[in-house]
Copies of this chain bind each other. A is one copy, B any other.
Amino acid sequence: MVIDDSPILVPPSDIGTHLGRLLDNTEGTDVSFIIDDEAFPAHRAVLAARSPVFKAELFGSMAESTMPSIMMHDITPATFRTMLRFIYTDELPAEDEHQDTSTEMIQNLLVAADRYALDRLKFICSQKLWDKVSVDTVGTILACAETYNCQELKNKCIDFFVLEENFKQAVFTDGYVALVLKFPSIAAELKRRVRE
């Protein structure tokens, strides 16, 4: 008989799956976010663990309140729902026909990720925006990268922009005009790089 000395295999980490279920069944929620008459119940402990901004907000003055309701004005329900799902599961929903994966939606998510200091979500948004970079979008996405401190995305956009075949088209987009108006320093860098 051959001895079976293979190890016992341990399944992969399921902590995100577990927290995702907690979010779904809403049991034990102790805070609620209200956006456009839609309520998002959540657990302060999870939010605080994942976001230093939520931690400061929820364990500060509201700590004693039994079930605070927080009105949110600067975020859409769809963006908040996706961010909340990410906070609990460390993943974005799978991309399918029902999922809005437009550049605008990802930019909105990046704004929220920056607002709540969700660094890993910022990387994911940067990755998805980089997939969408074209001569039509590079101006807008570069402005977004600069605004929300996505250094790697910014560098890649600049490298893409200054290629002659891209540059000759990208400068005629509205996104480029908005970029140079808002960020003269980037305009200067593009100029310097194109002349090299």
Contact = CB atoms under 8 A, between A and B. Distances in A.
A46 B48 contact: no
Interface stretch (A15-23, A76-84, A174-182): A15-23
Interface in A127-185: 127, 130-131, 152-153, 156, 159-160, 162-163
A123 interface: yes
Interface stretch (A3-11, A97-105, A107-115): A3-11
Interface residues of A, number: 48
A170 B126 CA distance: 59
B8 A21 contact: no
A159 B123 contact: no
Nearest to A43: B45
Contact of A18 (B21, B49, B59, B156): B49
